[in-house]
Amino acid sequence: MRLSRSFLPTLRDTPKEADIVSHRLMLRAGLIRQQAAGIYSWLPLGKRVLANIERIVREEQNRAGAIEVLMPTLQSADLWRESGRYDDYGKEMLRIKDRHEREMLYGPTNEEMITDIFRSYVRSYKELPLNLYHIQWKFRDEVRPRFGVMRGREFLMKDAYSFDIDEPSARRAYNRMFVAYLRTFDRLGVKAIPMRADSGPIGGDATHEFIVLAATGESAVFLDKEALDSPIPGADTDFSGDLTPIVSAWTTKYAATEEMHDKAAFEAIPEERRLEARGIEVGQVFYFGTKYSTPLGAKVTGPDGADHDVHMGSYGIGVSRLVAAVIEASHDDAGIIWPSSIAPYQVGLINLKVGDANTDAACDGLYQRLMNAGIEVLYDDVDGRAGVKFATMDLIGLPWQLIVGPKGLANGEVELKRRATGERETLTLDAAVNRLVAG
RNA sequence: CGGGGCAUAGCGCAGUCUGGUAGCGCAUCUGGUUUGGGACCAGAGGGUCGCAAGUUCGAAUCUUGCUGCCCCGACCA
């Protein structure tokens, strides 16, 4: 993408409503624009990051055997009356009426709807296990939205729902999502630690929150430092096999949120391994048994010929929140530092002297070669001062900056800078292209 | 939902106490000089001062009501 033809409104000053670093940087780098309290538009750069996160989440869900669907944002109140949650959910649920005065709501979550889909079609245990997920906008009318997209009212979430014949099967489904989450967050470039969590109003008796450590996190967390070094399962993990060893490796080390904190257990850990920190919840997995299947009548016939209420779990990832969480975990004074896997572009190609025939030709050539190699490039082809170009490129945080100016070109050289470390190398044009193609 | 704060040009702010017809920096546009880490000079455009009522000869400024947004707490992916 040529900068001259893109829409990338960056801000030099920090808007005053933004308090935490991720919110400031998201506004300054032109990722989002606030439209109302807790409601944001996603501008081109932010949209690309969001799409990259979605892509990785989707790949790992699919790998773990979950199947993608798409449910609507608007739901009928009737379904929620069946589960009893229409009255229980309270003011956080945005309730609206259509032109026929029918009661509707903007979905805060989808347990009822997915259970309705399930009960409409599935009759036999032979169709299980089943895990359906979607990535859709949710609305929760928070009393106090804050910190930009970290706690918005409208937010993008991946939510998966598993259906099994009995509890042991449901626990295996839980483990599959648990392992998928380990892989997902690792690929997104963040270290998310599963922690024993409170089950809250959704209910259930097995749940973990996946928490990214960050100083500005909303939750206090307590963990054994050794939990940070547990291994990430590989892409070749057999999801049809026994995942208990992987899950156990992560859950035997102490790691808990404030609500579930067990002081005695924590203090049993050698002092040098105790870590008290703050974190951002980016995902949560629940096993809640028949909490919804019983009231909604989601049952299958088992091998014994009898009907069984299905055992369910739900598994959420805060996709839009992750954009902020990644920035909280990965930035410096100059701006964002995107992990390569979700960066809006891999390379920022900087033309330091637009209008100079040699420099233009070299940049245009590099741009073409990189694009042909399948590398996503943001090409700053706008006539401007070097300092402004560098500052903007640092702000938006692309992993690589390829700096092309007349001085270097006189020696047939360009400069390649790695955003994360600030490390620079002077290379020939060919060497620079090869380096970027190699990753 | 309790407590606190803010609302003046695209962004950041001053002016409000003490009423007199709106200003600064950045950004934008034009011309010139510059040009490897947020340049300089000259000029220009851009505001029903959040909305509504009131007081007054006169309101950004005083009064009342409303709305929006932010922060702390409680609550939450």
Residue A2 (CA) to nucleotide B28 (C1'), in angstroms, measures: 21
- What pLDDT is attached to residue A19? 82
- Per-position DSSP letters for A235-300, written without gaps between them: TT--TTS--HHHHHHHHSS-EEEGGG--HHHHHTS-GGGEEEEEEEEEEEEEEEETTTHHHHT-EE
Q: What is Dmax (Cα atoms) for chain A?
A: 82
* Residue A5: how many other CB atoms lie within 10 Å: 9
State the burial class of residue A167 (Cβ atoms within 10 Å of its Cβ: 0-12, 13-18, 19+). Answer: middle
| Closest nucleotide to A350 by C1' from CA | B36
Structural domains in chain A plus CATH codes: 3-336 (3.30.930.10), 347-438 (3.40.50.800)
Residue A36 (CA) to nucleotide B53 (C1'), in angstroms, measures: 27
| Closest nucleotide to A200 by C1' from CA | B76
Q: List, run by run, the mean pLDDT of 10-residue segments along chain A (439 residues).
A: 94 86 94 93 96 98 98 95 89 91 94 96 97 97 90 95 96 96 97 84 73 87 92 95 94 88 91 92 93 94 97 96 94 96 98 95 98 98 96 97 97 97 97 95
| Closest nucleotide to A159 by C1' from CA | B77
- What pLDDT is attached to residue A374? 97
- What pLDDT is attached to residue A143? 87
Q: How far apart, in whole angstroms, are the C-alpha atoms of residue A76 and residue A96?
A: 10
Q: How far apart, in whole angstroms, are the C-alpha atoms of residue A188 and residue A317?
A: 12
- What pLDDT is attached to residue A201? 55
| Closest nucleotide to A142 by C1' from CA | B76
Residue A202 (CA) to nucleotide B2 (C1'), in angstroms, measures: 26
Residue A37 (CA) to nucleotide B19 (C1'), in angstroms, measures: 35
Measured to protein CB atoms, the chain B nucleotides within 7 Å are 1-2, 11-13, 25-27, 34-39, 68-77
